[in-house]
Structure 1
Amino acid sequence: MKSRFLVAGFAMFCLGAHAQSNVTLYGVVDLGLTYTNSAQTGKAGTKPIGASQVALTDAHATGLSGSRWGLRGNEDLGAGTKAIFVLENGFNANTGTLAQGGAEFGRQSYVGISSVNIGTVTVGRQYDPYIDFVQPLSASGTFAGYMGSHPNDLDNLTNTNRINNSIKFTTLKYGGFSAGGLYSLGGVAGNATQNQIWSLGAGYSGAGLSIGAGYLNARDPNVSFYGNTPNKGVATANNLGSFGSATTAESNPVFAGYASAKTTQIVGAAINYTLERTTFGLLVTNTRFEDLGTTVAPNPRGYSGDASFTSAEVSVRSQLTPALLLGAAFDYTKRNSVNGDGGAKYLQLDLGAIYSLSKRTDLYALTVMQRASGVDSLGQPAVASISGFTPSATDKQVGARIGIRHKF
């Protein structure tokens, strides 16, 4: 009899807790077979060498949605106010290892307050407003996936770098308009601006028209922005990429040479217009690595001044049937001349097809073709470098992927 009372009491406690709060387990598993016609294996002297490559990979670098699992919850505090939280883990489904440099909740980890009268305030590791308002209107955010982002994801449109130690506010929607702001504390004693990051964004959606714009400013970006995962963060190391060696490939050659920048600034704006089943998109971003040579980060090329990348993207996607989505995009990226190197250009074509077997399961195929010209940040003839793939050994690269994505 006593045990029955205990069981009944425990059940009533659980029901009461459930009535006040809600916690949801969710996630994505996305795996696929990738191919590239050229992937670096090392260098012969100063010239990259490579070969074609086929691999089974998780989507976090080349597919639609990086594999993840997470907990999302809220507690009703009354008067239209809720306490909220998100803990989101990223993992490599093909090996079972942690993504985001080994961080347990490397995708997101934040807590906050949401009000139906004001908006939402959150604190922790999270996405910035530039991502919130611009990425959903890009080719990579809709049909092209991570590999469809601009070369080496130089403008961070696929969340390569999230923001630690941040405070974020997002407004409610007013007539289709909304906005947000974020500030990340550097946490350095005696220097309030060192390692700080701040971001602003705004958008509008209504009557088939969607517009988004955003700005991000990261001080000492080699540590604050590119070095905020457990496997990075050393100020004297290059957290942007690597120059490679006789036996290893380069990493992010598009901008790896600019680790000594004092500030990274990214600004972007995008517009989508939907006409029946077809959506047309235009996106422009500018990424600047400013005051090169002013930090303790590596600067083997002896750069000074600023490196500025401008990317322009046009896209079209069509929901041909309730199950089949087709998309195509073209991107042109140009960098200015830094210390007289003449600059660099990258042309890229993205093609994607997504077929939904159900609301939770998709089959998809992606193809990206890129061509580079000029001189890259490593001071060598520019090589093609599709985001998520090992850089090419030549100025051309083709990447392809077929995959399956399941959401739960």
Structure 2
Amino acid sequence: MKLRRSLAMGGLAIVAAGASVQASAQSSVTIYGAIDDALVYTNNQGGLHNLYLRTGNLNASKIGFKGAEDLGGGSQAVFTLENGFDTNTGAMSSANTLFNRQSFVGLVNNSYGSMLVGRQYTPYFQYVGAIGPTSVLTGATGAHPGDVDGLDTTVRISNAITYISPTFGGGAQISALYGFGETAGSTSTGNAYSLAGKYDVGPWNFALGFQRLKNGSGPATAWNSTASGSFATSAINNGYASSDNVVMIAGATRYTTGNWMFGANYANAQYKPGNGSLFTQKATFDTLGVITTYQATPAWMLAAGYSYTRERAANGINDPAKYHQIALEETYSLSKRTAFYLLQAYQLARGQTLGKAGAGNIVNAVAVVGDSQNGSPSSGRNQAVIMAGFRHFF
């Protein structure tokens, strides 16, 4: 009997020890996402008006999995897997890429910061984009024309390592990313890097960021899929898709007082040619934007923004392209997770740019509202987009 009692007590001790270890190393996994769909009217897509359904307007339609395990000593192991999809068809946003939005694993420490490895957004987007136009006005209609400066979610880096510092100095934080090109014998081919910082103090938010994307191996007449990063292409920058590298620099600030927020942002995007590129001189786009929001009631949020994008003269263009864009948003929240929304945007284009064939193919600039019309630009100088939609977080 004593032997059985000893064995039983030993078993209970082992179970208790196991329970203690499990409690001290707590872990969690969360499934999350958004379903977003809208009825859209566009006055000019290639010369024709259109009425259609479009997914991912106020927020991208996506499903994700994220987890964290407490390792003790202020450290955690974390992961995120996130896939975008089309609500109307069920198709993945990127063919043959299951977790096209994010796919990373890493360590987080309260004192030393975070180290993440995998497919990620750049610090440039995480910091400047967070207080720039697309955090206030949805990227579908509020992103700068064609997302020419990558301040929406169009730039993601594969094969990347990111470091994020702890917050210091009363509200400052910095982050750096390097994306490996992974080309044997030429490790700089296809690589990417980004550096950004932010500072939050009282009602003020400030951010400054930089990112450089290098073309991958293969013919330089287009952006090669072997590059660790890519960027949005549209009628605005199609003539420069054969760049050897693309550099983007941006800064943003905003001020919140009561129910109002006021913000301003500036971005500089440089498309640089290399051997084999279809253009010969660096193409530069400067964009200046202003944004504001007003929380009219606990349920109603109103937002507005204006941006001016200007291409600099180069590559034989004497009257470089200019784009004026106005975007409005009205959102009615039924709950913290569910909302109806209305979006309106209008863009006016002037001047000339390079067409898809590159040097010598000088064409009139055409309107491309936000990044919702990248594949369906106007046939002329103006484009209007109106959306009425529904969004639910889970």
TM-score by length of 1: 0.84
**Contact map agreement 1:222 1:240 (CA 8 A) in 2:** no
Q: Deviations over 1:136-194 (max 9, x none)?
A: 11222223332210111111111112111000000111211111000011101111211
The aligned counterpart of 1:58 is 55
The aligned counterpart of 2:234 is 252
Match for 2:316: what amino acid? G
**Contact map agreement 1:100 1:107 (CA 8 A) in 2:** no
Between stretches 353-362 and 138-147, larger displacement belongs to 138-147
Deviation at 1:103, TM superposition (A): 1.2
User: CA, structure 1 residues 57+15, in 2 after alignment: closer, same or farther (shift >3 Å)?
Assistant: farther
Deviation at 1:395, TM superposition (A): 0.4
Structure 2 distance, partners of 1:105, 1:83, is 19
The aligned counterpart of 2:200 is 205
State which of 69, 80, 102 in structure 2 corresponds to 1:75: 69
The aligned counterpart of 1:190 is 185
Kindly indicate whether residue 378 of structure 2 is the aligned counterpart of residue 392 of structure 1: yes
Kindly indicate whether residue 286 of structure 2 is the aligned counterpart of residue 313 of structure 1: no
Q: Deviations over 1:54-90 (max 9, x none)?
A: 111111xxx1111111110011111011110000111
**Contact map agreement 2:30 2:65 (CA 8 A) in 1:** yes
State which of 247, 250, 270 in structure 2 corresponds to 1:288: 270
User: Structure 2 regions of 5+ residues with no counterpart?
Assistant: 1-13, 356-361
Kindly indicate whether residue 343 of structure 2 is the aligned counterpart of residue 369 of structure 1: no
Q: Deviations over 1:186-206 (max 9, x none)?
A: 101111211110000000112
Structure 2 distance, partners of 1:71, 1:258, is 36
**Contact map agreement 1:269 1:285 (CA 8 A) in 2:** yes
Deviation at 1:16, TM superposition (A): 7.2
Q: Deviations over 1:109-150 (max 9, x none)?
A: 000000011110000000110001111112222233322101
Match for 2:365: what amino acid? A
Q: Deviations over 1:263-319 (max 9, x none)?
A: 1000000000011110000000000001x2x2445x2xxx20100000000111111
Kindly indicate whether residue 311 of structure 2 is the aligned counterpart of residue 330 of structure 1: no
**Contact map agreement 1:220 1:295 (CA 8 A) in 2:** no
User: CA, structure 1 residues 274+104, in 2 after alignment: closer, same or farther (shift >3 Å)?
Assistant: same
Structure 2 distance, partners of 1:140, 1:359, is 20
Question: Radius of gyration: which is bigger?
Answer: 2
Aligned-partner SS, 1:405: strand
**Contact map agreement 2:137 2:143 (CA 8 A) in 1:** no
Match for 1:159: what amino acid? T
Match for 1:276: what amino acid? G
**Contact map agreement 1:261 1:295 (CA 8 A) in 2:** no
User: Structure 1 regions of 5+ residues with no counterpart?
Assistant: 1-8, 41-49, 242-250
**Contact map agreement 1:376 1:383 (CA 8 A) in 2:** no
Identity, % of aligned pairs?
34
For these two proteins, the number of residue pairs brought into alignment is: 363
Structure 2 distance, partners of 1:256, 1:222, is 19
Question: CA-atom RMSD, angstroms?
Answer: 2.3
Aligned-partner SS, 1:152: helix
